Structure 1
Amino acid sequence: MEKALWYLLAGTRGGANRARIIRLLDDRPRNANQLAEELDVDYNTVRHHLDVLLDHDVVERGGDDYGAMYFLTDRFDHHREEFETITDQIE
């Protein structure tokens, strides 16, 4: 998971937005539309980042496609320290 987090957050252009999404989901679960509004980012951009985070087991989806809520995974919770270390180094 540590390598995946480095790639997702520091190794790609979308890393800053992914970190922002993770921070919002850490506060409480949200759907893609809520995330797009709070981040002031296009809905399709947020969906792209959520799909990438889903593929790497950082977030999980609950519910149907439209209005589905996104949560941080238990696996991510076990690697929260690495997330904090990475974001501290790239900010």
Structure 2
Amino acid sequence: MEGVLWYVLTGTRGGANRVRLIRALEERPRNANQLAEELDLDYKTVRHHLDVLMDNDMIENSGDDYGAVYLLTDGTQRHWETVEDIMEKVE
């Protein structure tokens, strides 16, 4: 899991935005629209990054497609120290 975290958050062009999404979801679960508004990002950009994070088992969703609420997975929470290390380097 740690290798996946490093790759998804630092090894790709969208890593900085993914870090921002992870940080926002750590505060509280949100849907894609709420994340787009809070982070001042395009909705489609947010959806793309959420899909990448979900594909890598870093977040999960609850609810239907449009209104789905996203939250951190247990695996991400178990490796939170690594996530924090990564966030320090990216921000």
Q: Provide TM-score, normalisation by structure 1.
A: 0.96
Structure 2 Cα separation of the partners of residues 26 and 89 of structure 1: 18
CA RMSD of aligned residues (A): 0.8
Give yes or no for the alignment of 1:21 onto 2:21: yes
Give yes or no for the alignment of 1:45 onto 2:45: yes
The alpha-carbon distance between structure 1 residues 90 and 66, as it changes in their structure 2 partners (threshold 3 A), is closer
Give yes or no for the alignment of 1:4 onto 2:4: yes
Structure 2 Cα separation of the partners of residues 90 and 42 of structure 1: 21
Q: Structure 1: which 5+ residue stretches go unaligned?
A: none
Structure 2 Cα separation of the partners of residues 52 and 80 of structure 1: 18
Letter in 1 for 2:25: L
Deviation, 1:86, is: 1.5
Q: How many percent identity over aligned positions?
A: 66
Secondary structure, aligned partner of 2:7: helix
Deviation, 1:90, is: 2.9
Instruction: Name the counterpart of 1:55.
Output: 55
Deviation, 1:89, is: 2.3
Instruction: Name the counterpart of 1:71.
Output: 71
Instruction: Name the counterpart of 1:84.
Output: 84
Q: Provide TM-score, normalisation by structure 2.
A: 0.96
Structure 1 Cα separation of the partners of residues 54 and 61 of structure 2: 8
Secondary structure, aligned partner of 1:49: helix
Q: Structure 2: which 5+ residue stretches go unaligned?
A: none
List structure 1 runs of 4+ shifted beyond 6 angstroms: none
Aligned residues: 91
